[in-house]
Amino acid sequence: MSSIQIFSEIGKLKKVMLHRPGKEVENLIPEYLERLLFDDIPYLKVAIEEHNRFADILRENGAEVLYLTDLLEQTLGDEKIRTEYLTELLEESDIHSNGRKEAVKEYLLGLSAKEMILSVMSGIRKDAIKYKQSSLFDIIKNDYEFYIDPMPNLYFTRDPGACMGYGLCINTMKTAARRRETLFLKYLHKYHQVFKDAPLWHDRSRLNAIEGGDQLVLSDKVVVIGCSERTTAPAIERVAKNIFGKDSSFEKVIVIEIQKRRAYMHLDTVFTMIDHDKFTIHPGIESDLNIYEVTRIGDNKASFKRHTDPLEKVLADALGLDAIELIKCGGGDAITAHREQWNDGSNTLAIAPGVIITYERNYVSNELLDKRGIKVLTMPSSELSRGRGGPRCMSMPIHREML
């Protein structure tokens, strides 16, 4: 049996997967930033220190921290599985010469499992491969330094996969820069005991994009999914119908459509749950929301409607509460809210009801949350925040206590 158990956003966190940033971040240069989805280049030494503090806070509060690289090493240590993985990876990589592809495969198979994993993550530079040019395609000059791109977004482990209930979504990433990340999860789900045999709510082979930053589990009955720059309506409908199967308790998916823009790339960059009746929200989205509901009417079947009620009422009704509170990022101030949202002031990670991890730089939002009775655990973020993601983005919860 897998270890997956996620029936809320706020249940005490017991097991979580992280990825400590590595060489892949140092393989960013200005010319590659836009394509690899970065606005700046983090200083790796400090980013690692910040990430280590994040992991320490999780452990200090009772969560077991699993690292992606360790899980992959345990899985791909088997030579047969490693060869299977590499064959699939190279088919999905932008290598058009069979000779080059074989040279890269031979190089990677000559490494240990851990060395191979780190090499794939950091990107395969051309100067690492001894390859005899054998065609016009080979000798035409190409200034790009890599045969296989680095994966600098890997430390945002939330997006490639999302645990919901006892099952897993292996997501279809919107951008080419991140699609190979989900191949790691495919092999963990196929072979590693932490994920093996979990129901699969979404398969990475599906065409329509959906990403984990848009997937929030409010209760054992209700899921919220953002329709955003990175997540499409057809993918949401498919996931909804799949989680309405006979082995699932979920009965409702609330769909929140947000503006499709870089600053709001996922729902959790503007909206997160932090307590039984409290949520953070970026005030910039409140006047421009479309809210829909997908309701279970049978196994793998659903009905659809559009809401005209305000978000507070929709959430309160879904959770069976008289009311809920939306706490505005930056206190709603026109300047502070947008500055702190850009630095992930709304991207909080709840590790227990009313206990959250945030970036310390968002001091206005943090003080406001503290005054609302939320226990705020802050972490440094001068370098991690350059990747445009906060504590929720950087974590993939695997097991939470039931509420």
Is 329 a catalytic site residue? Answer: no
Token readout for 103 is 């040279």
Query: What residues form DSSP beta bridges with 291?
Result: 256, 307
Catalytic residue of the set 163, 169, 227, 393? 393
Amino acid at 131: Y
User: From residue 353, how far is each of 219, 239, 373 by CA, in Å?
Assistant: 12, 26, 11
Placement of tokens 């008289």 in the chain: 322
Output the 3-class SS for the chain: CCCCEECCCCCCEEEEEECCCCHHHHCCCHHHCCCCCCCCCCCHHHHHHHHHHHHHHHHHCCCEEEEHHHHHHHHHCCHHHHHHHHHHHHHHCCCCCHHHHHHHHHHHHCCCHHHHHHHHHHCEEHHHCCCCCCCHHHHCCCCCCEEECCCHHHHCCCCCEEEEECEEEECCCCCHHHHCHHHHHHHHHHHCCCCCCCCEEECCCCCCCCCHHHEEECCCCEEEEEECCCCCHHHHHHHHHHHCCCCCCCCEEEEEECCCCHHHCCHHHCEEEEECCEEEECHHHHHHCEEEEEEEEECCEEEEEEECCCHHHHHHHHHCCCCCEEEEHHHHCHHHHHHHHHCCCCCCEEEECCEEEEECCCHHHHHHHHHCCCEEEEECCCCHHHHCCCCCCCCEEEEECCC
**CA-to-CA distance for 267 and 324, rounded, in angstroms?**
18
Token readout for 184 is 């790691």
Supply the residues annotated as catalytic.
393
